[in-house]
Amino acid sequence: MQRVTVTLLVFLLGALLNVACAQKKGKIIKVPSKPEIVEFPVAEIKVFQAVPDSSYLGYAQKGLANSVVRAYPDGPLTPFIQRYFDNSIHYSSDSGAKKFFIVIKELRINERTFAMKERAYARLQADAWVGAAADKYYLAASVDTCIMHGGMDVTASHGRNIGDLLFLLIHKAAASPDTAGEHTQLLTIEEVRRKANERFTVPVLLTDHYQNGIYLTYNEFLQNAPSVRHYSTQFNKKKGARFFIKDSTGNEQEIIPWGLCKDDELYKYKEHNLIPIERVANGFFISSYLENKRRRNNAVFWGALVGGIAGGVAAGAISGGQVTYIAVPYYGANVQAFMQTNIPALKKSQAEASSVDFSTGELYF
């Protein structure tokens, strides 16, 4: 029995080392290079990215244990997207061909494993400007949508999903009437660029110090101006974290914050859970998302592998400490509340949240 136990432990240790090595490597995402059929002439497409963080696209899963790694474009983000258009669309010199200027505001991907299959998610938030007279452009279309692909191994579908979303944007812009420019503001490319970057000039991105207090709204957070400085708290294992202020009569009134700051540490509040967030570039992301998801996926994998071989004790030891998913100051009974997005179209196949949507302040993947 001792020999069997030692052999099993050696096997598990070796496998864990392999998983750890695999996790150090990211996943490279490539967009399709095959030509797309377009029913309208295109003179040119130029791309400009104004995403909160362009260093990576999101997260993907690798290997038998679904090790979670960062997913990167195969090159800087702007050439990555430009290459898709240049390789997939045949440019025309016809007099009626349109010029497009694409502004990418969000491009994120993620994966999640369900009981019998995996899901791949891609989100695009972007504007398409179409050229008018005198080197000026009008806003022809905007999209903010996500696409989901299911299967047993979905990592290879990310590039196709991104391509489909970009193609959707171009089609929507091309379908806009030619008279649209008469009813919208005409801007030069440089003016469009400045306009796209204006959203990153909010106070919370212009400081290294965050004001202590409760942000009742996302706008208060962006302005780094919490409206509640004095409050009381209650922590309950079933009900989670609750916050109260005193009204004009001296009675305590419960408030529902967007988030709060304590000693320069930021938290998003979600269904009585406090979720640590941190700034990366011009965006805010769930702290330690990658490390904690790796631990949770490894726990599921090893629990399934060891269960029935070495008994529930070993499985419990491996999965122990995974209840909180991420290290929060306090969490309620509904820990799943902040693990998932709340995108109506995804229904019960919600992605796991890893970031704060810069446009709305809601949790997104």
CATH number for the domain harbouring residue 58: 3.40.50
**Amino acid 333: pLDDT:** 43
pLDDT in tens, the chain (365 residues): 555 444 445 444 544 444 344 444 789 999 988 887 778 899 999 999 999 999 999 999 887 667 788 999 999 999 999 999 999 999 999 988 999 999 999 999 999 888 778 899 999 999 999 998 888 999 999 999 999 988 878 888 999 999 999 999 999 999 887 766 666 789 999 999 999 999 999 999 999 999 999 999 999 999 999 999 999 988 877 778 899 999 888 899 999 999 999 999 999 998 888 888 999 999 999 887 756 554 444 444 334 433 433 333 222 232 222 222 223 334 444 444 446 788 888 888 888 889 999 999 999 99
Q: Which residue has the tokens 């649209």?
A: 180
**Amino acid 68: pLDDT:** 83
Residue 270: count of CB within 10 angstroms of its CB: 20
Q: Which two tokens stand for residue 197?
A: 């970057």
Is 10 within a domain? Answer: no
**Amino acid 25: pLDDT:** 74
- The C-alpha atoms of residue 65 and residue 23 are separated, in whole angstroms, by 11
**Amino acid 342: pLDDT:** 83
* Helix orientation angle between 289-306 and 312-319, rounded to the nearest 10 degrees: 180
* Strand arrangement, sheet containing 283-286: 213-215, 259-262, 265-270, 273-280, 283-286, 355-356, 363-364
What 3-state class would DSSP assign to 175?
coil
- The C-alpha atoms of residue 19 and residue 221 are separated, in whole angstroms, by 38
Q: Identify any residues that bridge with 187 across adjacent strands, giving them in sequence order.
A: 137
**Amino acid 105: pLDDT:** 98
Q: Which two tokens stand for residue 220?
A: 């208060």
**154 shares a domain with 43:** yes
**113 shares a domain with 217:** no
The number of folded domains in the chain is: 2
DSSP readout, 243-291? EEEE-TTS-EEEE--SEEEETTEEEEEETTEEEEEEEETTEEEETTHHH
Angle at 150 (CA atoms; ends 148, 88), nearest 5 degrees = 60
**Amino acid 181: pLDDT:** 60
**Bridging pattern class, strands 42-49 and 98-113:** parallel
Last residue of a domain, one of 179, 198, 217: 198
The DSSP 8-state label assigned to residue 365 in this structure reads -
Residue pair 358/285 in contact (Cβ under 8 Å)? The answer is: no
pTM of the model: 0.80
**70 shares a domain with 168:** yes
Is 308 within a domain? Answer: no
**107 shares a domain with 51:** yes
Last residue of a domain, one of 198, 221, 250: 198
Is 18 within a domain? Answer: no
**Amino acid 315: pLDDT:** 29
**186 shares a domain with 161:** yes
Residue 20: count of CB within 10 angstroms of its CB: 12
DSSP readout, 203-225? GGGS-S---SEEESSHHHHHTT-
Is 143 within a domain? Answer: yes
Is 267 within a domain? Answer: yes
Is 307 within a domain? Answer: no
Residue 20 has, within 13 A of its CA and on its CB side, a CA count of: 6
**263 shares a domain with 181:** no
Is 87 within a domain? Answer: yes
Q: Which two tokens stand for residue 125?
A: 């938030």
Is 136 within a domain? Answer: yes
Residue pair 325/339 in contact (Cβ under 8 Å)? The answer is: yes
Residue 320: count of CB within 10 angstroms of its CB: 9
**34 shares a domain with 71:** yes
**220 shares a domain with 193:** no
**333 shares a domain with 224:** yes
**Amino acid 269: pLDDT:** 92
**141 shares a domain with 217:** no
**215 shares a domain with 184:** no
Residue pair 189/196 in contact (Cβ under 8 Å)? The answer is: no
In the chain, the N- to C-terminal Cα span, in Å, equals: 46
- The C-alpha atoms of residue 147 and residue 121 are separated, in whole angstroms, by 6
**231 shares a domain with 152:** no
Q: Could you tell me the residue range of the domain that residue 254 belongs to?
A: 203-288+326-364
Last residue of a domain, one of 198, 218, 251: 198
